[in-house]
Structure 1
Amino acid sequence: MSWKLFLGNASHRMIAYIYKVNHPRSIAFFNTETLPSIIEKARLGNASQLRPDERGLRPDITDVTSRSLFEIKPWNAQGLQEGREEARTYLTALNRTLLVGRPFTGGTDFSGEILICFARGHYIWHLGWQTTEPGVVQYRWTRSQQRFESAAAAYEAGQWVELTEEEMRQYGGWVGQAVEGMVSRRERLATFSGAVGIVIEVIGNTATAFFSGAITGRMGSGSGAQQPPTQGGGQVIPFPARPPPSVPPAQLLAATGMSLPR
């Protein structure tokens, strides 16, 4: 896959994973499940009410417990528009099939951020996301403006700049593989009542992910993140999410320095 697909997949996997961590009591489905599968497994209604073109639809996050739905998209105007249209399509199809309970609506108030720390001498990457309008979660990859030996120092500085295409091309595949490996192992081996640090060991053109130790409590619910290793590898570290600005989505995109298509 290209680095764009690696980073896109990594974003979706990590954001969905953290949603599951933050909502351990929710019955939630992610984009491996089609609408008919969700309806039948959760016993929501009559899947035969779906049109043929709706039967293959796979919402990014469908929370049956809260009756909410999210689409995950890149942080730009096109992503916002596509997320809005897709969420509306999924909600219309899903609600048509319901036999019991209240209808599904676009989810709100889901935001977060993680840091990815490479070997000493590299910039620290930042993945941040938030709900820009009901039903749409948008994400953005950036890096620290300068080099830091401490993830905590980089986070405290909070000076994130756009990644260059060369940086994404060089490291995107490694990040994607590490995130996928971590999430897959975590899903197979553990419950979602806590979170772990992840070390990304980069050797040649390959990357592996493994656990560096437990971080007590829920993902993003504390300040006890581990320091990155001083030599080699990297670490994915959860931090508490900052509250999203209370401004309209268009102003939000502009305020964060995103270039809007004309």
Structure 2
Amino acid sequence: MSDVPAAGGVPADPAPQGYNVPGRKPDSQMPWEFFMGGASHRLIAFKYGISHPRSRLYCNNTPIKTIIEEAGLGDTSHLFPDELLIRPDIADVSLRKLFEIKPWHERALQEGREEARKYLAALNRTIRDGRLFTGGTDFHGEILIRFAAGQYIWRLEWKTSEPGVVQYQWTRSKKPFDSEVAAYRDAQWVDLSVEELRQYGGWVEKAVEGMISRREKLATVSGTVGMVIDLIGGVATIVLWSAIQGQMGSGAQQPPSQGGGQVIPFPARPPSIASPARVPAAAGMSLSP
């Protein structure tokens, strides 16, 4: 996992702003780039796990030496000293695929390409027999976040820009909505302002970390197609959509919610993010935790 803060096309502020988020020290100076970047990595890696329930995964915080030893991949003595603690964002041991997660701008794409190359070289150098790792492809999706009824709906969208590199972008609905369904159907998204990111970055990260940590203890539901995060009155809830499109029927049937919020089986659709080279400088963010 990368150690440099980054989120779309704009650089981080020279004087990062702290956040008064419950559970954090009052004098914390954690910049919003780290909050939003951490939330992005957790959500995207978690969604990959939902989409690949039979895969053995290591995501975001496991050193490559540990991955090789626990999975019995090969001989760690072949690793160089500076490779012992590097941490891939997504290492799918079962499919032998690897992804680096980066924000949607050209510099981050270059960084992701170089990091993926380094991790693949290290992993494959240790393998005694069997398939080698390659850069993963065709992984894309989106997640919606609601802060309160009648407010803007946020969206995290990502796709594989080239083998081994997944890039993401945060946007919000063009106008306020009372539900995620209405915003999804309207399908008009605009860039988030730095002020909005600063205001909500800490809350998004707290919601994501708390809810995913709890749900990682539960069995993954095969066929899950998305999730929603509700942040209402300071209470955050993340809900998995536990039925694929068509299984819920056309009536009023609803699957049971897991801790509150709404359950919405959004249909799959092709990713719409443009090429990094064509994204305006003010678009997205510059997150790269």
| Same fold (TM > 0.5) | yes
Q: Which of residues 72, 86, 89 in structure 2 aligns to 1:43?
A: 72
- Structure 1 residues 185-194 or 121-130, which shifts more? 185-194
**1:107 pairs with 2:129:** no
CA deviations on 1:96-143 (whole Å, 9 max, x unpaired) are: 001011211100000000111121231110000000000000010000
The residue type equivalent to 2:157 in the other structure is G
Alignment of 1:15-34 (within 5 A): 15-34=44-63
CA deviations on 1:158-207 (whole Å, 9 max, x unpaired) are: 1111100111111111111111111000012333436585553444xx54
Alignment of 1:14-163 (within 5 A): 14-163=43-192
Aligned length: 244
Distance 2:112 2:43 in 1: 18
- Note the residue ranges of structure 2 that are not aligned, 5 or more in a row: 1-29, 255-259, 284-289
- Higher percent of residues as strand: 1
- Note the residue ranges of structure 1 that are not aligned, 5 or more in a row: 227-232
* Alignment correspondent of 2:266: 239
Question: What TM-score results when the alignment is normalised by the length of structure 2?
Answer: 0.76
The residue type equivalent to 1:16 in the other structure is A
Question: What TM-score results when the alignment is normalised by the length of structure 1?
Answer: 0.83
- Give the direction of change, closer, same or farther, for the CA distance of 1:63–1:153 in structure 2 (3 Å limit): same
What's the RMSD between the two structures over aligned residues? Answer: 2.8
Q: CA deviation at 1:236?
A: 8.6
* Alignment correspondent of 1:230: none
* Alignment correspondent of 1:9: 38
* Alignment correspondent of 1:217: 243
Is contact 2:144-2:227 (8 Å) kept? no
Is contact 2:241-2:265 (8 Å) kept? no
SS in structure 1 of the partner of residue 216 of structure 2? helix
Distance 2:48 2:246 in 1: 16
- Give the direction of change, closer, same or farther, for the CA distance of 1:109–1:210 in structure 2 (3 Å limit): closer
Distance 2:43 2:265 in 1: 11
Q: CA deviation at 1:27?
A: 1.2
Is contact 1:111-1:131 (8 Å) kept? yes
SS in structure 2 of the partner of residue 41 of structure 1? helix
Distance 2:238 2:115 in 1: 35
* Alignment correspondent of 1:229: none
Distance 1:93 1:136 in 2: 17
